[in-house]
Amino acid sequence: MDVERLVEQVVTGLGFELVDFETSPKGRLMRVFIDIERGVNVDDCATVSNQLTRVFEVENVDYDRLEVSSPGLDRPLKKAADFERFVGSEVQVRLRMPIGNQRNFAGVLTGFAEGVVHLSTGKGDVALPFDEVEKARLVPRF
């Protein structure tokens, strides 16, 4: 059984988006990061946690600890839909392989189309292949 698929099914069934799912090496700790357009509150985390606990019991998923939280202000961008949703936001992107001797980019996300992430940086506009993105996060503004 694919636990991540099960978690995603439960989370989306409750009306939330599964942003990320992490497990410890032996699967004893599970971290679930959820989001919703209006923002996540403590009651949302409790609701998802309670539902997942029940589902894990029924499905015989063995774990020691479950943590459910929001992704935070520096939310990771993992899916193509994330890059489309946050156009206009400031982001940091790290690539798997460097482009022009550079792996880390910071700037405003100006678009996402046909598998390419478009950023406006201090040095000009760059186009980064989505498949080469190792890690991307929003940069919070206060």
pLDDT at 1: 61
Residue 26 confidence (pLDDT) = 80
CATH number of 3-69, picked from 3.30.70.20, 3.20.20.480, 3.30.300.70, 1.20.1260.10: 3.30.300.70
% of the chain with per-residue pLDDT over 70: 99
**The model's pTM:** 0.81
Cβ-contact 138, 91 below 8 angstroms: yes
| Amino acid, res. 39 | G
Provide the residue ranges of all domains of the chain, joining segments of one domain with +.
3-69, 80-138
Edge-first strand order for the sheet with 124-129 is 124-129, 116-121, 102-113, 90-99, 133-138
Least confident of 11-20, 21-30, 59-68, 108-117: 21-30
CATH number of 80-138: 2.30.30.100
In which band, very low, low, confident or very high, does the pLDDT at 52 lie, cut at 50, 70 and 90?
very high
